[in-house]
């Protein structure tokens, strides 16, 4: 059982860490590929925006008591396919637009959590709970990419010296 207070605390903790590391990236390096495979920090920010918005959408649906209209992929590769599609959709957009989308998506995720009850968080969904999907799309995802960006920045620092 996931407590709303714990989820809120972790969301804000991992958001603060993610935002801090992203804001530490120099402007001239924001679109440099190689942070995660061929992705740049700009690509990762867009990727996180998509999934945080998706987490917010799932939680809002649970809060409303209906999952109708939510689209889910099937099979082994649907997440990879969605990641690729969303990456391509943002490739030529300016970072300022993507950053705005990212901030808006986090705020939507934060508001959806604020509106949730523990019952809606812990309600069954697709063989797990709504919280499992929300957490995976938000703060554990934030943590994963924070660590990757930190490692990339560290690598950049040590190879430049």
**What is the dotted CATH code of the domain comprising 4-160?**
1.20.120.450
pLDDT attached to residue 161: 55
pLDDT attached to residue 160: 62
Q: Which residue has the tokens 């649907």?
A: 78
Q: How do the pLDDT tens digits run along the chain, 161 residues long?
A: 999 999 999 999 999 999 999 999 999 999 999 999 999 999 999 999 999 999 999 999 998 988 888 887 776 788 899 999 999 999 999 999 999 999 999 999 999 999 999 999 999 988 899 999 999 999 999 999 999 999 999 998 887 65
- Write the CB contacts of 36 (distance below 8 Å, at least 6 apart in sequence): 44, 145, 148, 152
Domain boundaries, the chain: 4-160
Cα–Cα distances in Å, from 19 out to 11, 13, 90, 91, 103?
12, 10, 19, 21, 9
Q: Please give the distance of CA 22 from its chain centroid, rounded to a whole number.
A: 13
pLDDT attached to residue 71: 80
Cα-Cα-Cα-Cα dihedral sign, residues 17, 19, 22, 24? negative
pLDDT attached to residue 74: 74
Alpha-helix runs per DSSP H in the chain: 4-23, 41-64, 78-90, 95-115, 118-121, 130-137, 139-160
pLDDT attached to residue 68: 83
Tell me the pTM: 0.93
- Write the CB contacts of 117 (distance below 8 Å, at least 6 apart in sequence): 4, 63
């Amino acid at each position: 059982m996931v407590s709303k207070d714990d989820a809120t605390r972790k969301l804000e903790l991992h958001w603060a860490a993610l935002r801090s590391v992203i804001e530490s990236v120099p402007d001239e390096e924001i679109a440099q590929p190689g942070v995660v495979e061929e992705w740049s920090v700009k690509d990762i920010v867009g990727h996180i925006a998509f999934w945080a918005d998706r987490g917010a959408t799932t939680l809002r649906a649970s809060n409303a008591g209906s999952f109708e209209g939510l689209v889910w992929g099937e099979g082994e590769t649907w997440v990879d396919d969605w990641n690729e599609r969303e990456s391509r959709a943002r490739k030529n957009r300016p970072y300022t637009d993507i950053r705005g989308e990212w901030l808006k998506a986090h705020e939507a995720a934060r508001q959806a959590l604020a509106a949730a009850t523990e019952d809606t968080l812990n309600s069954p969904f697709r063989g797990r709970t709504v919280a499992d999907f929300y957490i995976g799309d938000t703060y554990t995802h934030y943590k994963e990419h924070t660590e990757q960006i930190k490692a990339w920045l560290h690598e950049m620092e040590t190879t430049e010296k």
